């Protein structure tokens, strides 16, 4: 059998605890933040007589939902510049994806970098300017984590509700 020195065992245990404690603390902190954001989103939706049946939250910064019965889109952006919006789809003519990108040339290679993605709602009433709901901001994040697909997917969901 192995002979383990008690002092080595104690030092090893302390090092493991010292390494793991910040990770565990961060996980609990993020979980509590997520719970608070979900509660805020639900409260805002209920204040506007909406009960989102489809909803999605990403990057601990954005939360988007659709109430298919009352045809309302509920959007909440957290962070430095928070935004809460409810859009009645009965007043919307069409939805599109707004994308701002730039081309960067590195040697002989061209790269397209997306700086901004959003859902843009065009209303039936022409005097009402289009409303934009941001889904990705290149100033906040250095990379994309599927926001292009997410934005296209939500556009399709909203278009299906507009057709019905």
99: helix, strand or coil: strand
Distance CA 38, CA 153 (A): 21
Helix-, strand-, coil-residue percentages of the chain, each rounded to 5: 40, 35, 25
The string of pLDDT tens digits covering residues 121-143 is 999 988 889 999 999 988 888 88
What is the pTM assigned to this prediction?
A: 0.78
Neighbouring residues of 26: CB distance < 8 A, sequence distance ≥ 6: none
Q: Give the closest residue to 160 by CA, choosing from 66, 27, 79, 76.
A: 66
pLDDT over 80 at 81, yes or no: yes
Distance CA 87, CA 45 (A): 11
Could you please report the per-residue DSSP string of 12-50?
HHHHHHHHHHHHHHHHHHHHHHHHHHHHHHHHHHHHTT-
With cut-offs at 50, 70 and 90, classify the pLDDT of residue 5. confident
How much is the pLDDT for 146?
86
How do the domains of the chain map onto residue ranges? Answer: 6-163
The string of pLDDT tens digits covering residues 14-49 is 999 899 999 999 998 888 888 888 888 889 999 999
């Amino acid at each position: 059998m192995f002979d383990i020195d008690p002092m080595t065992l104690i030092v090893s245990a302390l090092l493991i605890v010292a390494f793991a404690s910040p990770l565990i603390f961060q996980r609990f902190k993020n979980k509590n933040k997520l719970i608070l954001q979900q509660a805020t989103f639900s409260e805002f939706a209920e204040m506007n007589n909406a009960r989102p049946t489809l909803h999605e939250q990403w990057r601990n910064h954005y939360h988007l939902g659709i109430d298919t019965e009352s045809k309302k889109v509920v959007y909440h952006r957290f962070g430095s510049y928070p935004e809460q919006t409810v859009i009645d789809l009965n007043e919307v003519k069409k939805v599109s994806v707004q994308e701002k990108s730039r081309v960067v040339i590195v040697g002989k290679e061209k790269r397209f970098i997306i700086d901004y993605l959003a859902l843009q709602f065009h209303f039936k009433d022409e005097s009402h300017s289009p409303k934009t709901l941001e889904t990705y901001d290149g100033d906040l994040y250095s990379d994309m984590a599927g926001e292009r697909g997410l934005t296209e997917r939500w556009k399709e969901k909203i278009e299906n509700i507009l057709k019905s």
